[in-house]
Every structure is written in C-alpha cells, then in structure tokens.
Amino acid sequence: MSVESHEQNVSRIPESDRFLEMLALWAEFGLSIPVTLTFHGLRASGMMIGTAAYFSKLSVYMKSTANLSGEGALSMKATVDSIFDGIASDAKTARENETLEKALENQSYPAFIHLDDAAFFTADGLCTMNQSSILWRCRISEVVGFSLGAMRPGQDPHRRG
C-alpha cells in the first residue's frame, strides 16, 4: 500500500462512532442506557445520562462533599453551585427547545458522553475503582469501542453464559 492510499484510508476514518453519538443524544432526551466504553486500554461502565442530569448530579455531589471553611467559604460554595446548576439549566433549556427527531435531523450530537454509577476496569476485567455514585465524563471521540450493558464489580469477566 502506498503512502498516499494509506493517507486516503485514514482520512475516511470517522472521528467518533455515529451510533454512540446517537445513543448519547438519546440520553440527552432522558433515556438512560447501561453501557461499557473502551478507551485508552481501560473500560468505563455505568448508566449513560445526559448533560443536564450529569451537571445536576455533579452540583449535588459538590455541595455534599465540598469541605470549604473560613473566609469566603460561603461565596465559594455559591459560585460552585451557580456554575454547575447553570450548566445543567442551560443544557436542559437547549434540549427543551428541540425534539429528538429535529436533533437527529440536524445531527446535533453531543461531544461528550456522561456516565452515572461508573466503574472502571482494566483490559482483563479487573475493577480498578469500586465506589458508588461515581460520575464520569469523556469526549465521545476518545471512545474506541463500546457494548450495551454495564459491567459490575465482582463479575467474572471471563465467565460465559
């Protein structure tokens, strides 16, 4: 294969998977889907959620775990609340003004995928992080493969049937 023909083939490789983009778009409209994503040799598994749900949950998480004290703590908490709540509100408003059919027609796919209750696994299926309520965000173009259904910590990845 010549260098030119190789470069032409490489230029036809899509930056991200259109089907995965469509699933992420469905999540933007409220359909939560269990999914396992492969990226950089690792797997992330959990429930796919939309941007508004992700940032709403992130806001709640930040409010419950932020340990700010001293001068300016209240103003810092208010700023954090305002940022995450504002992003969630903007995302919700953007989708309220559009139908799923129109979004598909316009190909207005999200650039990021969001998981709730995420678990992370090595290539051989070992769970590297087992903590409940982990939120995770990844650029869709970084995902190299996926499957529908979520892996859970403690499952034997090599067991069939």
101: in domain: yes
Contacts of 135 (CB under 8 A, 6+ apart): 54, 57, 58, 61, 114, 115, 116, 118
Q: First and final CA of the chain: distance in angstroms?
A: 42
154: in domain: no
Range of the domain at 42: 14-148
75: in domain: yes
pLDDT in tens, the chain (161 residues): 455 544 444 444 456 788 999 999 999 998 999 999 998 888 999 999 999 899 888 888 877 766 666 666 667 777 777 777 777 777 677 666 778 888 788 888 889 999 999 988 887 777 776 566 789 999 999 999 999 998 877 665 555 54
5: in domain: no
In terms of Cα–Cα distance, which of 15, 42, 46 is closest to 113?
46
1: in domain: no
156: in domain: no
70: in domain: yes
pLDDT of residue 132: 66
How many domains does the chain contain in total? 1
